[in-house]
Amino acid sequence: MRRVVGLAVAWAAMLVVSCDSGPKAGEVVLELVTPHQDLGAVSFSVVAVEPNVIDSVTAGCSGCEVFTVRASERRVLGVITGSLQAGPVLRLSVSDVDVPAAYSGRILQAANQAFELVAIAPSRLQGPQ
């Protein structure tokens, strides 16, 4: 009888531990790395490596607005507008925050406050390390 109770307790402990080891949804922040001081709009693409997904994309900077189109559950295209400077610009709601390297972003085009296209290089979106 003691052996059965001991096995039952061990099995229950394993179940509790295994429940905590699954994906943990949350937020990943992408930062804009740029020497430009007067950006007004950036078009971007954000992707997740399978099996991870991106649930939503919102602005990560004060006074900014984000407009997005979902290409798939793993890829979102969008534009962020506002007075953009180096620092946090996008907040991704994701399926697993424990794998931050699974989420990345890429700048497609950028424009200054006068709506003139500017060179993208060396600007980039940087995810968590």
- pLDDT value at position 21? 74
44 Cβ neighbours under 8 A, 6+ residues apart: 77, 78, 79, 80, 90, 105, 106, 107, 108, 125
- CA–CA gap between residue 105 and residue 108 (Å, rounded): 10
- pLDDT value at position 10? 52
- pLDDT value at position 128? 79
Domains in the chain, start-ordered, CATH in brackets?
23-126 (2.60.40.680)
- CA–CA gap between residue 38 and residue 26 (Å, rounded): 31
- Of 18-27, 38-47, 113-122, least confident by mean pLDDT is 18-27
Over residues 20-33, mean pLDDT = 91
pLDDT digits (tens, 9 = 90+) for 61-87: 999 999 999 999 999 999 999 999 999
